[in-house]
Amino acid sequence: MSDSTAGNAYDGLAEHHAVVGDDAHWAFGSEVEDPLAGVDTTVPDDVDPRVLATYCLMLGDDALVAAHRLSEWCSRAPDLEDDIALANTALDLLGQARLLLARAAAADPSVVPALPAGSPVPPEDALAFFRDAGLFRNVRLVELANGDFAHTVVRLLLHASVRLALLDRLRGSRDPVLAAIAGKGVKEVSYHRDYAGRWFLTLARGTDESRRRLLDALTALWPLRQELLEAHPVEVAAAEAGVGVDPRLVAAEIDVVLDQVLAVSGVDRPEVAPMVAAGGRAGRDGLHTEALSRMLAEMQVVARAHPEGRW
């Protein structure tokens, strides 16, 4: 580094390329080519790779879509501290998404969209940028437009409380890769849930206006919570194979946490019916609201326009 400062600012780049090699990166991904480099991704015996891959897509897509929505707050949050907090939360979830999508691709390469031969796009990025909405497996809760800050807080609380309970159990997954990803994620999502819980309390006990907005958000989002707690056939199969967790098993534990937040906030549990599945299909089946298509259009447009882009 010290040598390069004697020349111009670009010498460092030249030196980097000379020493590190493989200097052409796909223009839209991270520089680390394989987030699972060196990790043994062999699927455990008697586990259906398709089930494991689809299960990882569900957890990964929840994180990816939630991360993108949270990142939309960047430069728009109520104050600088929350701007940074939401961006950090988005970054954690994006990191989890990347690992989970990479794990899905390694378990069953057939889930990865086909790209032209010689494409520089790594599998997890192909999954993120080259699938249409109908192939995303996230719950609908995470895809809705952000709404106001109260909506973001309520959504993060509902999502993080379920995700934390699932990840905590997944540390014991028979798939060592998923177990390792969960082990890291637990520490991160604990922070997310605490952050959302504190803001929930603050808004509920704040002004009439903040409380009104919080209650509006809770009523609007509560019907979407059920989808996180229902067991999709893939989740059931993954649980039976010992690699996944049946969300029904953690429902009681999550209720304890939510009731604690509601009680200290002086807010009643909403009595609104869950949002129905359409023809028996919901987010986990690829049936989404219009909001996801719009979000993906923005998220994917540049990558799709330049699938061969390198720098």
Segment lying near other proteins (by CB under 8 A), choices 31-39, 113-121, 126-134, 267-275: 31-39
222 token code pair? 């509560």
Number of chain residues interacting with other proteins (CB under 8 A): 53
Residue from the set 5, 7, 14, 32 that interacts with other proteins by CB under 8 A: 32
Residue from the set 42, 110, 219, 260 that interacts with other proteins by CB under 8 A: 260
Q: Name the 3-class secondary structure at 310.
A: strand
| Separation between Cα atoms, residue 118 and residue 39, nearest integer Å | 24
295 token code pair? 């979000």
Residue 85 binds other proteins (CB under 8 A): yes
| Separation between Cα atoms, residue 16 and residue 256, nearest integer Å | 52
Instruction: Write down the least CB distance from residue 116 to other proteins, Å.
Output: 25
Instruction: Write down the least CB distance from residue 189 to other proteins, Å.
Output: 8
> Dihedral sign, CA of 192, 90, 65, 167?
negative
Segment lying near other proteins (by CB under 8 A), choices 92-100, 111-119, 123-131, 302-310: 92-100
| Separation between Cα atoms, residue 297 and residue 311, nearest integer Å | 23
Residue 105 binds other proteins (CB under 8 A): no
Residue 77 binds other proteins (CB under 8 A): no
Q: Select 4 or 119, whichever has its Cβ closest to other proteins.
A: 4
Between 33 and 72, how does the x/- string for binding to other proteins read (CB under 8 A)? --xxxxx---------------------------------
CB atoms within 10 A of CB 135: 13
CB atoms within 10 A of CB 153: 26
Instruction: Write down the least CB distance from residue 277 to other proteins, Å.
Output: 29
Q: Select 22 or 271, whichever has its Cβ closest to other proteins.
A: 22
| Separation between Cα atoms, residue 48 and residue 55, nearest integer Å | 11
| Separation between Cα atoms, residue 254 and residue 247, nearest integer Å | 10
| Separation between Cα atoms, residue 69 and residue 164, nearest integer Å | 19
Q: Select 177 or 267, whichever has its Cβ closest to other proteins.
A: 177
Site residues (CB under 8 A) for other proteins, limited to 155-194: 164-165, 168, 176-177, 179-181, 183-188, 190-191, 193-194
Residue 303 binds other proteins (CB under 8 A): no
| Separation between Cα atoms, residue 286 and residue 248, nearest integer Å | 21
| Separation between Cα atoms, residue 173 and residue 194, nearest integer Å | 25
Residue 4 binds other proteins (CB under 8 A): no
**Packing angle, helices 176-204 and 251-265, rounded to 10:** 20
DSSP labels, 125-150: HHHHHS--GGG----GGGTS---SHH
Residue 119 binds other proteins (CB under 8 A): no
Residues that bind other proteins (CB under 8 A): 15-16, 19-20, 30-32, 35-39, 81, 84-85, 88-89, 91-96, 98-99, 164-165, 168, 176-177, 179-181, 183-188, 190-191, 193-195, 197-198, 201, 253, 256-257, 260-261, 264
